[in-house]
């Protein structure tokens, strides 16, 4: 298998910023439509526009060629729920209330959807995993249509996901139903394990031999990831690449449905995936390594510099204020990210980007997975400054981390006022499909 990226920088800034600072606005003061695409479990270094040699992503590569690519974008969390809650709100996990999957977003917070709707845009969401069902995550506020119908099997039951073909079909139909400006969010799930691409990918057949064989042990692979009897890491990486290629093929249809002269297209991942870094294979949710936290982020549309690469560190917490500014929409109150619209419109250099000096990431607080892979599943935080880059365990403060890093972590992890939790299920009550899906992934 080819060499993989080394550990480098990290994730999320601690210092709040004004949502609408230095606003550039859409061309001529008009409101643009917004097509926001979140890709599950997608590493940037497995996309062609980020330098990957295999032809996994021609549609995404073409989008990057007509837009801006952030080379060093970071998620604050290595799992879907907390990451996307921050994307939609530009708030830290303690503020969103989403510290792990299957936890509901604080319904008092403004989101990209609520701001877009208040600005007069029609709003629609089309998601592909049971973790984003409205009754699970509460992300549906502000959407006229929130299409969370799961139609396809995964994790041991028959309706845990929806394949990209069906999700994109629904989104394209909704986009084509009206010419009015819109905010459309599409989340595609394919690259997430188990790596079982639902369609053939002939474009990758010729390059399978470029992946060098590497023997791995069965116990290193999470139970939900095991497909067949293969213990060659290259087989798993090939399947992962094919999942990306299937997703990309349907993204080509989605991009074609959006008017490029009137639409801001924003594509990012929620988190990455470990493919052997530091001895971790085919997983993400308990890791604070760069492989699980570095993500692709691409912006294209009217007024966006074409073919530009921004090399400075940016964070997904910056996405919402940047999108609202570029689309000419009103800012939201209380966001913590930076507005990077100036960087997206600039034609060279690092104009419009002030790299964060303090970066923080948090791994699942309530993870109880047991799959014999040896991964530390305790609640943990990674803090990086110019002086330190350290992982710390809040429940074991005395043994880990310098005092200055703990001061940063305490500020980051400050809890909002506690909301009343839902009542526990009655003894003997049947498990819900969400519980079964979470169990299939090893989360419960």
Whether 353 is covered by a domain: the verdict is: no
pLDDT of residue 365: 63
Query: Which of the two residues, 227 and 443, has the higher pLDDT score?
Result: 227
How far the first Cα of the chain sits from its last, in Å, is 32
Give the per-residue pLDDT at 19.
40
Assess whether pLDDT exceeds 90 at residue 157. Answer: no
Note the pLDDT tens digit of each residue in 302-325: 999 999 999 999 999 999 999 999
pLDDT of residue 16: 38
In a domain, 323, yes or no: yes
User: What domain range includes position 144?
Assistant: 12-345
Q: Report how many domains make up the chain.
A: 1
**Residue percentage of the chain with pLDDT more than 90:** 63
pLDDT score, position 10:
46
Tens digits of residue pLDDT in 138-152: 999 999 999 999 988
More confident residue, 10 or 346: 346
Tokens of 59: 């549609």
Q: What mean pLDDT comes out for the span 275-286?
A: 92
Which has the higher per-residue pLDDT, 120 or 396?
Answer: 120
Does residue 351 sit within a domain? no
Q: Is 403 part of any domain?
A: no
Answer yes or no: is 364 within a domain: no
Q: Which residue has the higher pLDDT, 440 or 403?
A: 403
In the numeric block, the tokens 């990674």 are attached to 382
What's the CATH code of the domain at 30? 3.40.720.10
The answer to the question of residue 272 being in a domain is yes
The answer to whether residue 417 scores a pLDDT higher than 50 is no
Structure tokens at 340: 């990077």
Residue 354 lies in a domain: no
Closest CA to 385 of 411, 352, 416, 420: 411
Percentage of residues in the chain having pLDDT higher than 70: 82
Higher pLDDT, 443 or 151: 151
Does the residue 360 lie in any domain?
A: no
Question: What mean pLDDT value characterizes the chain?
Answer: 86
**Using one digit for the tens of pLDDT, what is the confidence trace for 198-242?**
899 999 999 999 999 999 999 999 888 998 899 999 999 999 999
Which residues are CB-neighbours of 141 under 8 A, at least 6 positions away?
105, 107, 111, 113, 114
């Amino acid at each position: 298998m080819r060499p993989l990226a080394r550990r480098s920088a990290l994730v999320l800034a601690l210092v709040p910023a004004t949502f609408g600072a230095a606003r550039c606005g859409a061309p001529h003061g008009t409101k643009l439509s917004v097509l926001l695409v979140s890709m599950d479990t997608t590493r940037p270094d497995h996309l062609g526009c980020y330098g990957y040699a295999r032809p996994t992503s021609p549609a995404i590569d073409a989008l990057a060629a007509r837009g801006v690519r952030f080379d060093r974008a970071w998620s604050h969390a290595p799992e879907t729920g907390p990451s996307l809650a921050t994307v939609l709100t530009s708030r830290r996990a303690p503020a969103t209330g989403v510290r792990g999957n299957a936890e509901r977003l604080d319904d008092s917070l403004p989101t990209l959807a609520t701001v877009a709707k208040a600005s007069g845009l029609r709003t629609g969401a089309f998601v592909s995993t049971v973790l984003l069902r409205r009754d699970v995550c509460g992300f549906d506020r502000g959407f006229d249509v929130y299409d969370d119908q799961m139609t396809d099997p995964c994790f041991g039951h028959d309706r845990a996901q929806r394949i990209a073909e069906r999700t994109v079909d629904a989104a394209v139909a909704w986009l084509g139903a009206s010419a009015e400006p819109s905010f459309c969010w599409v989340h595609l799930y394919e690259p997430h394990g188990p790596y079982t691409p639902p369609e053939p990918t002939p474009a990758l057949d010729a390059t399978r031999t470029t992946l060098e064989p590497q023997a791995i042990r069965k116990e290193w692979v999470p139970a939900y990831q095991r497909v067949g009897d293969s213990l060659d890491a290259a087989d798993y990486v090939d399947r992962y690449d094919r999942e990306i290629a299937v997703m990309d093929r349907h993204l080509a249809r989605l991009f074609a449905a959006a008017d490029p002269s009137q639409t801001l297209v924003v594509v990012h991942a929620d988190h990455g995936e470990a493919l052997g870094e530091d001895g971790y294979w085919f997983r993400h949710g308990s890791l604070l390594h760069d492989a699980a936290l570095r993500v692709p982020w691409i912006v294209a549309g009217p007024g966006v510099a074409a073919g530009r690469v921004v090399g400075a560190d940016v964070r997904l917490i910056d996405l919402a204020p940047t999108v609202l500014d570029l689309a000419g929409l009103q800012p939201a109150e209380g966001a913590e990210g930076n507005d990077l619209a100036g960087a997206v419109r600039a034609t060279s250099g690092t104009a419009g980007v002030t790299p964060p000096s303090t970066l923080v990431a948090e791994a699942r607080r309530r993870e109880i997975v047991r799959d014999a892979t040896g991964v530390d599943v305790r609640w943990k935080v990674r803090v990086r400054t110019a002086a330190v880059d350290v992982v710390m365990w809040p429940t074991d403060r005395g043994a880990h981390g310098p005092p200055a890093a703990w001061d940063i972590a305490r500020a980051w992890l400050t809890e909002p006022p506690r909301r009343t939790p839902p009542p526990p299920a009655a003894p003997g009550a049947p498990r819900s499909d969400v519980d079964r899906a979470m169990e299939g992934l090893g989360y419960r």
